[in-house]
């Protein structure tokens, strides 16, 4: 199988404006079809579900080049730009990887009764049970050198009871089917497909997907590639904006809702808008009585643990940090928004200067997501000293750094508001020792930064040789209240791995939803997961292809990885390794 990028295909809409909103009649018909077949889905055999996934994989591979072309055109990326590889990385590859993982989990359920956990199950010092879920295969070990991921379960789950928390819908097939509404995200093209797959194959619910108006152009491609689910009335795709979304949320045929978006949209769905929203939230009287889950963003921090960084290591970590902001032009819920440093670290200023240099040399991106310019301006009004780096064109925004933000200001916009553009801040904490600083950084992230989706810690291996620091770092991993924690690897990378859980730290109330509730992805189908821990070496060779200076490598690698996930073969490995070793400066 071979994948090549076309010059576009006229049979599919090229922009979201080509898509007309669905009529209420069309929406009603879609809901009715799903209601009539929701129990049929529940009774489908494992083998039938595997057959459906196999067909979707084949279909999706066929439309993958058009999927990528539609996305990069909509985002203003030139056809010959190395950044085209980014759309393979955050779009087609995660979808196919997740389909492959779900397929394997279904095979495991058929053989063992539950998905196979590929790594050890461990009881942590605090009594929580963790399961290593990544790498799953020898190929994962080869392609993600040194990267591991574990899922920590909620307190109360033991190593003995852990199997009972997996694949509950497959352990008891006597439940009633449901119709779920998935309100798709507009920024990353893999979100809506993986969300609907989670609802179908992990939660056993048929799905009505409403495309986000920003990337509605992908809807026809989903309908084409997911045809086995559509033709059997297990999936429907509809289009529209706020009006259609409101109609669907209130529709009596919709029984559950999942949204990827903002907490403001979530609150409007649950409590209404304006004065009514404030009153209902205060009184705990939601308008919506249906179950609803959401992934709603984050003021994502990176905690820098001081250490003896060499100039090469400093450059590497600066590139990783900048890449966590610039990927997808900064329109990611997991993009870094606040860098936390120890005020007395002698390399603090050097790191900041490396960040400035990299951002100045990174071409600005089109601000394709609605409201980006207004959001940036709100931060600039609060911080006129903000550094705007690069020379943007009319449709672009400069990369923006706000350094030295006062950590004591609890009303600070950089701490309370997700920028959702190419902007992040830096702050520093005073502490008598590095270990004390790590503890303070955990408290600061937990208590002063909005959201609980993901956090990253960067720690030098020499620092981990100091017992007090090592203990503080492990204590931080235990105490950080985030759904994903990355150690020396961008926590946002967990989104693409698929087998890990992705969502907020559990426990948010409807009145204070912050980053949301519930999880997605979770290919091993745990029902009581608390958080995911992603670990990697301090530096990796070759440099990861998603780093900002490696876009040509990304452009060569991720089409190959997409092709590999569609049909794994040892014969494809040399080409993948060769692409990963591409040495370039974009």
- Which CA distances in Å does 462 have to 311, 343, 442, 510, 551? 15, 20, 21, 43, 30
Strand partners of residue 166: 526
The reply to whether 305 and 254 lie within a common domain is no
What is the token pair recorded at 458?
A: 């960067």
Model-level pTM greater than 0.85? yes
pLDDT at position 6, please?
A: 40
Q: Give, in degrees to the nearest 5, the angle at Cα 261 between 259 and 263.
A: 95
CB 337 within 8 A of CB 414: yes
Residue 529: how many other CB atoms lie within 10 Å: 24
Question: Per the domain annotation, does 355 fall within a domain?
Answer: yes
- CATH number of the domain to which 504 belongs: 3.40.309.10
What is the token pair recorded at 123?
A: 């009881």
Cα(283)–Cα(26) distance, integer angstroms: 36
The reply to whether 339 and 448 lie within a common domain is yes
User: Which residue in 322, 354, 369 sits closest to 548, CA to CA?
Assistant: 322
The reply to whether 312 and 280 lie within a common domain is no
Segment 404-455, tens digit of pLDDT: 999 999 999 999 999 999 999 999 999 999 999 999 999 999 999 999 999 9
The reply to whether 272 and 308 lie within a common domain is no
Three-state secondary structure string covering 20-63: CCCCHHHHHHHHHHHHHHHHHHHCCCHHHHHHHHHHHHHHHHHH
The reply to whether 342 and 199 lie within a common domain is no
**Any alpha helices (H) in 124-241, and if so which ranges?**
138-143, 168-171, 191-201, 219-225, 227-231
The reply to whether 259 and 230 lie within a common domain is yes
The reply to whether 260 and 348 lie within a common domain is no
If one counts the domains in the chain, the total is 2
Q: Which of 232, 261, 295 is the last residue of a domain?
A: 295
- CATH number of the domain to which 228 belongs: 3.40.605.10
Question: Per the domain annotation, does 13 fall within a domain?
Answer: no
The reply to whether 47 and 89 lie within a common domain is yes
Segment 506-542, tens digit of pLDDT: 999 999 999 999 999 999 999 999 999 999 999 998 8
The reply to whether 408 and 515 lie within a common domain is yes
Task: List CB contacts of 174: < 8 A, sequence separation 6 or more.
Answer: none
Q: Which of 295, 314, 339 is the last residue of a domain?
A: 295
Q: What is the mean pLDDT of the chain?
A: 95
CB 190 within 8 A of CB 162: no
Question: Per the domain annotation, does 550 fall within a domain?
Answer: no
- Residue 246 domain boundaries: 25-120+172-295
The reply to whether 319 and 288 lie within a common domain is no
Question: Per the domain annotation, does 571 fall within a domain?
Answer: no
Segment 85-105, tens digit of pLDDT: 999 999 999 999 999 999 999
Task: List CB contacts of 312: < 8 A, sequence separation 6 or more.
Answer: 539
pLDDT at position 510, please?
A: 96
The reply to whether 380 and 288 lie within a common domain is no
Question: Per the domain annotation, does 58 fall within a domain?
Answer: yes
The reply to whether 325 and 404 lie within a common domain is yes
């Amino acid at each position: 199988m071979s994948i090549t990028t076309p010059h576009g295909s006229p049979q599919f809409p090229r922009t979201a404006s080509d898509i007309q909103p669905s009529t209420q009649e069309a929406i009603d018909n879609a809901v009715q079809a799903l209601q009539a077949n929701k129990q049929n889905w529940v009774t489908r055999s494992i083998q039938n579900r595997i057959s459906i996934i196999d067909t979707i994989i084949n279909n999706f591979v066929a439309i993958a080049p058009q999927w990528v072309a539609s996305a990069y055109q909509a985002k203003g990326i030139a056809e010959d730009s190395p950044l085209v590889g980014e759309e393979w990385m955050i779009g087609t590859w995660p979808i196919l990887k997740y389909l492959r993982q779900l397929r394997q989990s279904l095979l495991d359920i058929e053989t063992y009764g539950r998905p196979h956990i590929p790594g050890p199950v461990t009881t942590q010092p605090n009594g929580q049970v963790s399961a290593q879920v990544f790498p799953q295969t020898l190929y994962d070990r080869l392609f993600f050198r040194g990267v591991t991921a574990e899922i920590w379960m909620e307190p109360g789950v033991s190593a003995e009871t852990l199997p009972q928390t997996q694949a509950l819908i497959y352990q008891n097939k006597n439940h009633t089917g449901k119709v779920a509404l998935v309100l798709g995200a507009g920024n990353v093209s893999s979100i809506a497909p993986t969300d609907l797959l989670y609802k179908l194959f992990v939660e056993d619910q048929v799905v009505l997907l409403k495309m986000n108006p920003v990337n509605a152009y992908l809807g026809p491609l989903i309908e084409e590639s997911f045809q086995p689910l559509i033709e059997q009335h297990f999936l429907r795709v509809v289009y529209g904006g706020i009006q259609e979304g409101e109609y669907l949320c209130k529709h009596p045929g919709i029984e559950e809702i999942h949204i990827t978006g903002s907490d403001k949209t979530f609150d409007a769905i649950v409590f209404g808008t304006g004065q009514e929203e404030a009153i209902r939230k205060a009184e705990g009287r939601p308008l919506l009585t249906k179950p609803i889950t959401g992934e709603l963003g984050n003021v994502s921090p990176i905690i820098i643990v001081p250490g003896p960084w060499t100039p090469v290591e400093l450059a590497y970590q600066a590139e990783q940090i900048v890449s966590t902001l610039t990927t997808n032009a900064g329109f990611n819920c997991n993009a870094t928004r606040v860098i936390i440093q120890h005020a007395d670290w002698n390399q603090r200023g050097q790191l900041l200067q490396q960040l400035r240099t990299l951002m100045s040399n990174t071409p600005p991106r089109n601000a394709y997501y609605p409201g980006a310019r207004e959001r940036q301006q709100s931060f600039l009004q609060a911080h006129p000293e903000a550094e705007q780096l690069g020379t943007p064109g009319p449709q672009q925004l400069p990369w923006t750094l706000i350094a030295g933000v006062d950590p004591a200001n609890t009303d600070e916009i950089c701490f309370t508001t997700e920028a959702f553009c190419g902007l992040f801040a830096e702050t520093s904490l005073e502490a008598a020792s590095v270990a004390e600083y790590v503890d303070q950084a955990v408290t600061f992230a937990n208590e002063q930064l909005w959201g609980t989706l993901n956090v990253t810690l960067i720690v030098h291996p020499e620092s981990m040789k100091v017992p007090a620091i090592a203990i503080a770092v492990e204590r931080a991993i235990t105490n950080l209240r985030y759904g994903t924690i990355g150690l020396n690897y961008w926590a946002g990378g967990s989104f693409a791995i698929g087998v890990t859980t992705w969502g907020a730290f559990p426990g948010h109330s409807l009145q204070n939803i912050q980053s949301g509730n519930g999880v997605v992805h979770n290919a091993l189908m745990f029902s009581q997961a608390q958080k995911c821990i992603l670990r990697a070496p301090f530096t990796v060779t070759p440099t990861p292809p998603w780093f900002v200076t490696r876009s040509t490598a990304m452009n060569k690698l991720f089409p190959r990885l997409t092709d590999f996930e569609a049909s794994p073969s040892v014969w494809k490995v040399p080409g993948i390794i060769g692409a990963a070793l591409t040495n370039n400066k974009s």
